[in-house]
Structure 1
Amino acid sequence: MQELWGYDYDSFDRTVDTHITRLRKKMGPLGEKIMTVWGVGYRFVV
């Protein structure tokens, strides 16, 4: 998150996970295309 926002981010380390979960729900069936890459992050599989 430091690279993304450019400063120390003092929040919960589950922040990104929470946003991805909400995004998956909003995308409906396409939300299943967002895959978790353990230890790296996420990717969108087409």
Structure 2
Amino acid sequence: MLGPTEFNLLKFFMLHPERAHARKQILQQIWGNNACVDARTVDVSIRRLRKTLKNFHPVYSDLIQTVRGTGYRFSPRYLLAA
């Protein structure tokens, strides 16, 4: 089951597929500008989201990809190849 943060992350990514988002941008979109959270909070939340998605189906954990030097992106195209 998705928690509220994971749900908001998934919703954000699904609204912007195939686009890489920096951790800072994700922090602003999900937690807001006034939140006192670290950029690594994004990493932890992404990891929890991937784990939850993997529980639904193993291939779903690959929907959210790490973009080295940038952040993360949601790529549903990967499902078509699987």
Report matched runs for 1:6-45 at 5 Å: 6-7=33-34, 9-28=35-54, 29=58, 30-45=60-75
- Shift in CA distance, 24/11, structure 1 to aligned 2, threshold 3 Å: same
- Stretches of structure 2 lacking an aligned partner (at least 5 in a row): 1-23, 78-82
One-letter amino acid matched to 1:13: A
Residue 11 (structure 1) shift: 2.7
Answer 1 or 2: higher relative contact order, Cα 8 Å, separation at least 6.
2
Query: Quick one: percent identity of the two aligned structures?
Result: 40
Q: What is the SS of the residue equivalent to 1:39?
A: coil
Residue 40 (structure 1) shift: 1.8
Per the normalisation by structure 1, the TM-score is: 0.69
Runs of 4+ displaced beyond 4 Å: none
Cα distance in 1 for residues equivalent to 2:28 and 2:40: 17
Cα distance in 2 for residues equivalent to 1:21 and 1:12: 15
Q: CA RMSD of the aligned region, Å? A: 1.9
- Stretches of structure 1 lacking an aligned partner (at least 5 in a row): none
Per residue, is there more helix in 1 or in 2? Answer: 2
